[in-house]
Amino acid sequence: MPVDPVALTAALIRCPSVTPAEGGALRLLEDLLTEAGFSCTRVDRNGTPNLFARWGRKGANRTFGFNGHTDVVPVGDAAAWTRDPFGGEIADGWLWGRGATDMKSGVAAFVAAAVDFVRETPPDGALILTLTGDEEGDATDGTVALLDWMATEGEAMSVCLVGEPTCPERLGEMMKIGRRGSMTAFFTARGVQGHSAYPHRAKNPVAVMARLVDRLSSQPLDAGTAHFDPSTLAVTTIDTGNPATNVIPALCRATVNIRFNDLHSGASLTDWLTAEAATVQTETGVEIGLTVKISGESFLTPPGDLSDLVARSVEAETGLRPEPSTSGGTSDARFVKAHCPVVEFGLVGKTMHQVDERVEVAQIPALKAIYGRILKDYFA
């Protein structure tokens, strides 16, 4: 009997897998995949739950991979939800619950498609599923741990499809062939505290920080590239923690987030930020410190066989030719891209991370059908 992806999504939603808790989600999938003939291995690292599943021979000439995550973000104010965030309830044509969109429906769709495919038409090749419980967290011991383990064990995917939600309004309208890089810069300006009536006796770090963030945000980073929009820089906070109106504080902090295209790297932007801070420090005499966290580099899977395969399958099932895009935030595709060509395609993501997260029920079997067609065409 075919696997019902709607019922599987609901069952996964009922697993309270708030990152990095496993919540029973990976155990549920491991049981289903093992029964279907997949060889399953838990690849947990530093308390993060991960599952590797392979059908077929290790080292096969052709190995198609799916990647996804079962962890979800916290529900926030549970009282604000119309329905139980872990109830997996179907009502009004929607399946409700945390992870319904991001991304338990995508996982259920590709697991169901994979199980049905190997049962009905055992392929000449192998099928690998990598599932993590760390995508919504620090992402240091999830897909990264799986790929590290695969390298040690001689496991490899020829190509990979990440099932993240990718469509803005309608299923089928967009796929991701790359992602922007993401980094956060933390500045600390250290001045000299003083009385606001005697500003000449102090060194005001607030004014200095304002000068720095104005320099950073006033100049465009670039005009975009063939596959990427212009890079963006956003000042997300400036803090002094100063409750007094007549005291110039000694310390001011600011945070800047940059989403960057393939004209830049985390290192090149760090060099630029360092130079800008040094210029303002020299001009003002106020010491400015900088620390940087790089969440991921920009990457691109150039349009080719994999993106064409996905586009053809999506169009055949939905009538829409998906636009190749690099918009949005980061995903675990940023790690997979170093292993093999990777494309992302999934359902409409409008309610992800929201209160009353939900997915239109009809989208889930439609997504399974798309994934099933991709597998059939890949192994044809």
Nearest Cα neighbor of 312 from 175, 198, 182, 196 is 175
Rounded CA-CA distance 64/156 in Å is: 9
What angle do the packed helices 105-120 and 5-13 form, to 10 degrees?
140
- Give the chain's length: 380
Please check whether residue 98 is in contact with residue 359, taking contact to mean a CB–CB distance below 8 angstroms. Answer: no
Residue 287 is among the residues annotated as catalytic for this protein: no
Please check whether residue 139 is in contact with residue 131, taking contact to mean a CB–CB distance below 8 angstroms. Answer: no
Q: What are phi and psi of 259, to 5 degrees?
A: -110, 120
* Catalytic pick among 22, 30, 71, 360: 71
Rounded CA-CA distance 129/343 in Å is: 15
Q: DSSP 3-state assignment of 69?
A: strand
Nearest Cα neighbor of 135 from 70, 186, 85, 203 is 70
Residue 135 is among the residues annotated as catalytic for this protein: yes
* Catalytic pick among 30, 135, 164, 276: 135
Peptide bond into 122 cis (omega under 30): no
Residues known to be catalytic: 71, 135
